[in-house]
Amino acid sequence: MRNRRPIGLALLVLVQGPAFALLRSLLEILPLPARIRARWQWSLRKGFWNNFGRLKFRGSRPIKIPVPAGSLKKIARVRFKKIFPTIPIDNIEVADHAPAEERDFAMTFFTWFQILMYRLLSPMQPGLPPIDSDPYEALGQAYTKQHRKLFDPPVMPLEFQGSPDLGALAVKGPYACYLKKCGEEDYEWDFTDLKQYQQLPELYNLGVRVLFRVDKDTGTVKPVQIESELGVSKPGDATWEFAKKLALCAATNHLSLVRHFNGVHLASAAHLAIATRNCLFPDHPLSRLLWPYIFRTQQSNRAVTRAQMVKGGDFDSVFSFTHTGMCNLFSGTYVQYKFIVNDPEEDARDRGILKGGFDTPTQNDLEQLFSIFFRHASAYVHIYYESDAQIAQDAAVQNWITELDGSIPNGIKAVLRGGITRDSVSRLIARFMYLVTVQHDIVGSFLWNYQLWAHKQPTRMYRNGNRMPLDAYQRLVNANFNLNVPRTPLMNDFSD
181 strand-pairing partners: 187
Q: Identify the pLDDT of residue 81.
A: 95
Which long-range contacts link 391-394 to residues 24+ away (Cβ below 8 Å)?
391/420, 391/421, 391/422, 391/425, 392/419, 392/420, 392/421
Sign for the CA dihedral angle at 8, 40, 121, 201 comes to: negative
C-alpha distance from residue 164 to each of 154, 177, 221, 222, 481 (Å): 17, 18, 14, 12, 23
If one compares 419 and 272, the residue with the highest pLDDT of the two is 272
Q: Identify the pLDDT of residue 1.
A: 36
pLDDT single digits (tens) 23-59: 888 888 888 888 888 899 999 999 999 999 998 898 8
Q: Identify the pLDDT of residue 2.
A: 43
What's the CA gap between 138 and 154, in Å, rounded? 13
What's the CA gap between 460 and 216, in Å, rounded? 35
Amino acid sitting at position 38: A
Task: Give per-residue burial for 142-152: e unless 16+ CB within 10 Å, then b.
Answer: bbeeebeeebe
Total count of residues recorded for the chain: 496
Nearest to 429 by CA among 365, 348, 375: 375
pLDDT single digits (tens) 100-131: 888 888 888 999 999 999 999 999 999 999 99
Nearest to 403 by CA among 73, 75, 71: 75
pLDDT single digits (tens) 221-275: 999 999 999 999 999 999 999 999 999 999 999 999 999 999 999 999 999 999 9
If one compares 461 and 61, the residue with the highest pLDDT of the two is 461
Q: Identify the pLDDT of residue 6.
A: 63
Q: What is the dihedral of CA 217, 457, 306, 296, to 10 degrees?
A: 40
Taking residue 234's Cβ as centre, other Cβ atoms within 10 Å add up to 13
253 close to 319: Cβ distance less than 8 angstroms: yes
pLDDT single digits (tens) 370-406: 999 999 999 999 999 999 999 999 999 999 999 999 9
Burial of 69 (0-12, 13-18, 19+ CB in 10 A): exposed
Angle at which helix 285-294 crosses helix 395-407, to 10 degrees, equals 30
Burial of 388 (0-12, 13-18, 19+ CB in 10 A): middle
The structural domains of the chain, ordered by start, are 164-246 (3.10.450.60)
**Cis previous bond, 282, omega within 30:** yes
Evaluate if residue 417 carries a pLDDT over 80: no
Nearest to 387 by CA among 418, 354, 420, 363: 420
Nearest to 456 by CA among 186, 62, 158: 158
What's the CA gap between 352 and 82, in Å, rounded? 40
Average pLDDT over residues 339-348: 96
Q: Identify the pLDDT of residue 494.
A: 67
Q: In what order do the strands lie in the sheet with 186-190?
A: 180-181, 186-190, 209-215, 220-228, 231-233
| pTM beyond 0.75, yes or no | yes
